[in-house]
Amino acid sequence: MENIEEKLTENETEKTDISIEIKDIPEEENLDKSIQSGKPKKQRTQKQIEAFEKARKTRAENIKKRKEETEKNKKQKVAGFFAKPFKRGN
């Protein structure tokens, strides 16, 4: 019994001896410089900008149409729910 108690006390002391080292965190200035050192972005042409605007408009229209269709389908399903129930057998 004494052996078990001795081992338990040894294990407890071993666990408490753990030390943590904290390293210095680099300053934000150094991080900003490393991010900005990359190659600058290429400017978009006028045609690219126009195509992007056109795509955005058509996407908005398609979303609007899809939303209207789902609302219409929901109304039809609700109307169908209140219709006469389907009789089985006869």
* 16-68 residue pLDDT tens: 555 666 666 555 555 555 566 677 888 999 999 999 999 999 999 999 999 99
- Higher-confidence position of 60 and 84: 60
Q: In sequence order, which residues have a C-beta less than 8 Å from that of residue 44 and are 6 or more positions away? A: 52
The answer to whether position 72 is within a domain reads yes
- Give the domain extent around 57: 46-81
The answer to whether position 3 is within a domain reads no
The answer to whether position 75 is within a domain reads yes
The answer to whether position 23 is within a domain reads no
Q: In sequence order, which residues have a C-beta less than 8 Å from that of residue 52 and are 6 or more positions away? A: 44
SS3 67: helix
The dihedral sign for the CA sequence 47, 51, 54, 56: negative
The answer to whether position 11 is within a domain reads no
The answer to whether position 8 is within a domain reads no
Residue 82 pLDDT: 63
Domain count, the chain: 1
